[in-house]
Amino acid sequence: MPAERSTELSMQKNSKQYERLLSLVFKHIPLVLICVLVACKGNQNNNDKQEKTSPDTIQRVTEPSALSAGLLAGKKVYEDYCLTCHQSNGGGVPSLNPPLKGTEYVLGEKDRLIGIVLKGSNEGLEIDGETFDNAMPPHNFLSDDEVAQVLSYIRNSFGNEADTITVQEVKAVRAKVK
């Protein structure tokens, strides 16, 4: 029967091909092993290199944050109480809330700045010829620590650079404001 003969033949052909494939794989096993070994060794070298460079990197990252350890607490206060109005980049909201970027109120006289946070402001402060419709509510519920932290943070964020504000400075203004 020709049909049966032909399936038999093709099965034989298939198993021949299979054998050839097997022998090909076996012949190349040593090569595959060498490749795997080389790849592992390469990885190890990379790890060595990383271990050597990481202490430097860590030092470079921690150095500036020694100063900003206190500012980190200020960032938290800012996010909780100021961000909704003055925005995460200190840019404010046009004609509603003023920016904190490079303004005379933030960078200038400390007592006035502390006073704005403790008492709030609804004077219509003018910044670069613009006034703002919102009122800033008093934040005298914040502790002296928190006010010092948040003001030190805004004086050193958004591109601002000014000296920090101490707890004593906040205490002194709070005593006058009360």
Query: Residue numbers of the site for ligand HEC (CB under 6 A)?
Result: 81-82, 84-86, 97-100, 103, 105-106, 113, 116-117, 121-125, 127, 132, 134-137, 139, 150, 154
Picking from 120, 110, 112, the residue whose alpha carbon sits closest to that of residue 142 is 120
Name which of 94 and 137 has its Cβ closer to ligand HEC: 137
Least distance (Å) between residue 170 CB and ligand HEC: 12
Least gap, CB of 150 to ligand HEC (angstroms): 5
Q: Which is nearer to ligand HEC, 113 or 173 (CB)?
A: 113
Q: Is the dihedral of CA 21, 23, 29, 30 positive or negative?
A: negative
CB of 102 to ligand HEC, least distance (A): 9
Q: Which is nearer to ligand HEC, 17 or 84 (CB)?
A: 84
Q: Is the dihedral of CA 54, 60, 61, 65 positive or negative?
A: positive
* Shortest spacing between CB 120 and ligand HEC, in angstroms: 8
Q: Which is nearer to ligand HEC, 102 or 172 (CB)?
A: 102
